[in-house]
Structures are given as C-alpha cells and as structure tokens.
Amino acid sequence: MSVLTSPRGKVEVVHCRRTESQDIYCIKNLIRKFTQKLFGRLNIIYLLEKANLAVTLCNDKEEIMAQATFVDYPNWNVSNQDSWVSVFRELDSEIPCTPLNTLFLHLFVAVDEYSVGCCREIIQSVFKAVPELHFIFLIVPSYMSLGSTLITVFEQVGNIPSLTYDEDFAVHICHRQKHYPQLHIRRAR
C-alpha cells in the first residue's frame, strides 16, 4: 500500500496487483490519443495474453488507477523478437542487457491526475516483484516526446531504425538502481 497525492492535493491509497482479464474495459477507457501515438494501436486482449508481466494499480475502492504491460521483446518492430540483444548492444555496449534481465514496456495508461505517482509506483513494484530484472526499455517514434509522466523514469539511450517503417525510433531505458536498488551481501569482518 502506498499513498499518492495529486497536484491538487487529493490523496489516494493504492496497491499493485497482476492485471486480470476483467480489467480490459477499464484499461481501454484510460487510453488516450497520446497513448496510441506513443505505443501504436494495440489489441489489449492479445497484448495481455502475450505479456510476461502486466501490473494494475488500484485504489482502496478497487478502481483502476494505472496499468502497465511488459513483454520480453521490443515493440514497434525495431528488431526480430529473438535477435534484439545484438541491436541493443550496438546502441550502447555499456548496458549488459540480456533476455533474462530485460523487459520492454508495451503499454502504460493512468488516470491523468495521478499519472506520475502511478508510473513510479508501478516501476518500483515491477522491480520488487522480479529480482532478476535490471532494465526496462521503452521504444517510441523518435519524433514523439515521452510526456511529463514517462520522462520521470526513463532516459534516452539513442535511436534505432525500424525493420518495416522508414523512420527512426528512440530507445529509452529505466535502470533498477534508480528505483529499487539491489542489495549486495559481503562477508562480515
């Protein structure tokens, strides 16, 4: 349980849970035109079936405040599903991403008033739930800005071309260390 405060001072107590099939209607209601431009036109049912992790943030009345869907391959067709590692290593060789420690954000929707707090809460919950996860990538068309919400947790790494479109896509990354650092154990002296 966490407490989110809106810019107007309204307070909501929220908790994270796995997304269920009955959440689809509410998720569709949270999709805006900006969301479609950022993530593309999505089939929510198909996306949730293929997701490695789908997280929903609810308030104390069980109303959906936000939802995020994570998959183990890039969206927007910037590489083949099984060969994305080499493309991302070329982009930045300092990032030790592998299929075992990386997920890709394919959808994020939230109630506008609480979107920044919801985004941070979901990212922190995902890192808590998956100890092996170290990187979350977000790929968007290069001409799009992330908006005021996603920019708070993602930073741009570079651009990559698409396999099917004549445009570049911006690659953004979210590191575990900034949201839920992993503790390292050493021998006592």
Q: How confident is the model at residue 132 (pLDDT cuts 50, 70, 90)?
A: very high
Phi, psi (degrees; rounded to nearest 5) at 158: 170, -165
CB 18 within 8 Å of CB 64: no
Please give the mean pLDDT across all residues of the chain. 91
Q: Is the dihedral of CA 121, 123, 127, 130 positive or negative?
A: positive
Residue 16 sits at φ, ψ, to 5 deg, of -100, 145
Confidence of residue 161 (pLDDT cuts 50, 70, 90): confident
Residue with tokens 């920019």: 151
- CA 65 to CA 62: how far, in whole Å? 9
CB atoms within 10 A of CB 93: 8
At 105, list the tokens: 């954000």
Q: Please say if the pLDDT value at position 104 is more than 80.
A: yes
For residue 13, pLDDT over 90 is answered with yes
Q: Residue 2's pLDDT band (boundaries 50, 70, 90)? A: confident
Q: Quick one: pLDDT at residue 157?
A: 93
Q: How far apart are CA 90 and CA 158, in angstroms?
A: 10
Q: Which residues, 6+ apart, have CB-to-CB distance to 136 below 8 Å? A: 70, 102, 103, 104, 105, 123, 126, 154, 173, 174
**pLDDT, average across residues 59-80:** 91
User: CA-CA distance, 61 to 59, in Å (whole number)?
Assistant: 5
Model's pTM, two decimal places?
0.91
Cα 116 from chain centre: 13
Look-up of token digits 């006592």: 188
E strand or H helix that includes residue 69: strand 64-71
* Phi, psi for 37 (deg, rounded to 5): -70, -35
Q: What is the pLDDT of residue 163?
A: 72
Q: Which residues pair with 162 in a beta bridge?
A: none
The residue count for the chain: 189
* Bridge partners for 2 per DSSP: 14
Amino acid type, 173:
I
Whether the per-residue pLDDT at 182 is higher than 90: the answer is: no
What is the pLDDT confidence band of residue 105, given thresholds at 50, 70 and 90?
very high
